[in-house]
């Protein structure tokens, strides 16, 4: 049993739920003004690797195989799942669309997702999780992308004023989930554009014309229900909002797990604003592209011309992907990492139906007792679904210069900052229940000293 196991003990989930609070004031911090003005008399005290390992596992630890207990009969929708591994958080279609960054004073790390490991590595990772070897897992799962920390400015609107006093303070560790939207988007399109769902999409920024799907409309002899009275017509914006919300909920579960683990460990921590369109990704060293504001906003030619005349059509940066030392670490399913949207769609299809895909040889890497029976029972995806998905994706990329159309492929929403608490601040301004015994006993239990608690 690891040292961390002994120190953590069997902390109750109900205690974690009832005692979890956002606690922000850490050792070495200063709140400069107002009725809670206070300056810590202690130096910053960074989280240990062991503490970071437990928090990282809570947010994104690989725990085993998703059960994928779904109906795989033709037309029943089970084949929407795309991958077979699970983490400590739920994920739509088992895609694991959210990555995690761990940012501290001396280094910035990307935490690998399940799909970033080979199938041969997975068994060892699961065994280490079962054995509670979280520090060793943390060391295996992280990729150093920068020496030192990384963060955007704290000024509005990169952040919000209420967090400026504490954000990125020395000694804190910042956990940043990053949404990747394109795989979830394309995978969902393959389902909604098949013969069983038959959804149709119109582009509300182009006079509500068909979003590349005109030839697939039932009114033209196709298989998609383009009559609004039948309830299967969506707008591009509604469809992309759906994708964004599904992925962001996954991120929210990461943040909740971080809060619960902070409570179990006796650390401080709080979720905070990180929703700027590009500043976090730029600070982390993503490969960036740019487009004019009119293109970014999807305005028409006339409005774009007016913006140019009035000097309002400046360039807007956006993240394309994350690369280090010639290796691609995070990439979306769209150009420039694929030659075309057709190639990107085909790559998603291959993940599921290719020779090593989930519903072919890849079924062997699953929780199913008889994976061959599952693979044999899942029909090939229809050409009509693939063709409609390709036509829609190519239309969006050609018209708006990116995919998705309303936002870049990578998105940040909230981050989570963890720290060692300064108890003197809470004892001065709060009733005793503001800190539980877990917080009050952390330094003595984990670090062998009560000096910082007096």
**Banded pLDDT at 450 (limits 50, 70, 90):** low
Task: Assign 337 a pLDDT band (cuts: 50, 70, 90).
Answer: very high
- Work out the pLDDT band at 299, boundaries 50, 70, 90: confident
pLDDT of residue 98: 98
Q: What angle do CA 30, 34, 37 make, to 5 degrees?
A: 30
How many C-alpha atoms does 83 have within 13 Å on its Cβ side?
Answer: 21
Reported as a single tens digit per residue, the pLDDT across 379-394 is 999 999 999 999 999 9
Please state, in angstroms and rounded to a whole number, the distance separating the CA atoms of residues 62 and 121. 11
Q: For residue 295, what pLDDT band results from cuts at 50, 70 and 90?
A: confident
Q: 3-state secondary structure string, 272-304?
A: EECCCCCHHHHHCCCEEEEEEHHHHHCCCHHHH
Q: Is pLDDT at 430 greater than 80 in this prediction? A: yes
Residues of the chain with pLDDT > 90, as a percent, come to 89
Are 388 and 224 spatial neighbours (Cβ–Cβ below 8 Å)? yes
Contacts of 211 (CB under 8 A, 6+ apart): 201, 202, 203, 236, 392, 395, 396
Whether residue 451 has pLDDT greater than 50:
no
Q: How many Å apart are CA 278 and CA 153, to the nearest integer?
A: 12
Q: Are 241 and 91 in contact (CB under 8 A)?
A: no
**Angstrom distances, CA of residue 205 to CA of 15, 133, 170, 208, 341:** 50, 52, 46, 7, 21
Environment class of 148 (CB within 10 Å of its CB; exposed 0-12, middle 13-18, buried 19+):
exposed
What average pLDDT does the segment 429-450 reach? Answer: 93
Query: Token pair for residue 430?
Result: 């709060």
pLDDT at 110 over 60: yes
Domains and CATH numbers, the chain: 3-453 (3.40.109.10)
pLDDT at position 243 over 50: yes
Tell whether omega for the bond before 211 is within 30 degrees of 0, i.e. cis: no
Residues 96-125, mean pLDDT to the nearest whole number: 97
The more confidently predicted of residues 296 and 128 is 128
Spatial CA neighbour of 110 closest among 129, 138, 87? 138
How far the first Cα of the chain sits from its last, in Å, is 31
CA-based nearest residue to 173, from 61, 64, 294, 262? 262
Local confidence band at 298 (pLDDT 50, 70, 90 cut-offs): confident
Q: How far apart are CA 29 and CA 422, in angstroms?
A: 8
Weakest-pLDDT range from 214-223, 233-242, 251-260, 303-312: 303-312
Residue 6: the pLDDT is 63
Query: Average pLDDT of the chain?
Result: 94
List, in order, residues 6 or more apart from 49 with CB less than 8 Å away. Answer: 135, 138, 139
pLDDT of residue 271: 98
pLDDT at position 302 is 80
For residue 133, what are the contacts with CB-CB under 8 A and spacing of at least 6? 2
DSSP state of 224: B
Angle at 247 between CA 241 and CA 248, to 5 degrees: 85
Query: Residue 312's pLDDT is what?
Result: 86
Measured in residues, the chain has a length of 454
Among 224-233, 299-308, 342-351, whose mean pLDDT is lowest? Answer: 299-308
pLDDT at 1: 40
pTM: 0.95
Output Rg (C-alpha) for the chain, integer angstroms: 24
User: Hey, what are 6's tokens?
Assistant: 């002994």
CA distances from 50 to 7, 128, 158, 338 (A): 11, 14, 31, 39
């Amino acid at each position: 049993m690891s040292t961390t196991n002994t120190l953590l003990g069997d902390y109750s989930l109900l205690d974690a739920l009832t005692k979890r609070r956002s606690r922000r004031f850490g050792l070495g911090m200063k709140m400069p003004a107002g009725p809670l003005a206070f300056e810590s008399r202690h130096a910053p005290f960074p989280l240990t690797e062991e503490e970071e390992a437990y928090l990282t596992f809570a947010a994104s630890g690989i725990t085993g195989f998703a059960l994928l207990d779904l109906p795989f009969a033709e037309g029943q929708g089970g084949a929407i799942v795309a991958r077979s591994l699970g983490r400590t958080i739920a994920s739509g279609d088992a895609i694991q669309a959210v990555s995690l960054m761990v940012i501290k004073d001396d280094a910035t790390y990307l935490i690998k997702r399940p799909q970033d490991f080979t199938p041969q590595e997975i068994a060892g990772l699961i065994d280490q999780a079962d054995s509670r070897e979280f520090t060793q897992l943390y060391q295996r799962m992280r990729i150093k992308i920068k020496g030192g920390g990384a963060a955007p400015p704290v000024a509005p609107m990169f952040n919000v004023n209420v967090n400026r006093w504490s954000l990125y303070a020395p000694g804190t560790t910042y956990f940043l989930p990053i949404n990747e939207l394109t795989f979830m988007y394309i995978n969902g399109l393959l389902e909604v554009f098949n013969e069983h769902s038959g959804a149709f999409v119109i582009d509300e920024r182009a006079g509500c014309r068909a979003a590349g799907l005109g030839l697939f409309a039932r009114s033209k002899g196709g298989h998609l229900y383009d009559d609004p009275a039948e309830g299967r017509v969506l707008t591009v914006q509604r469809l992309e909002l759906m994708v964004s919300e599904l992925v962001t909920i996954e991120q929210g579960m990461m943040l909740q797990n971080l809060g619960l683990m902070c409570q179990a460990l006796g650390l401080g921590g709080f979720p905070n604003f990180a929703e700027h369109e590009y500043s976090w990704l730029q600070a982390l060293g993503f490969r960036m592209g740019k487009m004019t504001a009119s293109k970014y906003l999807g305005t028409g030619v006339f409005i774009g011309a007016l913006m140019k005349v009035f000097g309002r059509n400046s360039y807007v940066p956006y993240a394309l992907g994350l690369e280090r030392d010639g290796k691609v670490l995070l990439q979306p399913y769209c150009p420039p990492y694929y030659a075309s949207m057709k190639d990107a769609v085909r790559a998603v299809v291959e993940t599921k139906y290719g020779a090593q895909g989930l519903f072919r040889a890849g079924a062997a890497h699953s929780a199913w007792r008889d994976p061959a029976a599952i693979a044999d029972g899942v029909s090939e995806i229809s050409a009509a679904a693939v063709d409609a998905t390709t036509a829609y994706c190519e239309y969006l990329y050609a018209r708006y210069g990116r995919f998705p159309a309303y936002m870049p492929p990578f998105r940040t929403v909230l981050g989570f900052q963890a720290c060692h608490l300064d108890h003197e601040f809470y004892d001065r301004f709060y009733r005793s229940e503001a800190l539980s015994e877990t917080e009050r006993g952390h330094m003595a239990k984990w670090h062998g000293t009560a000096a910082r608690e007096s």
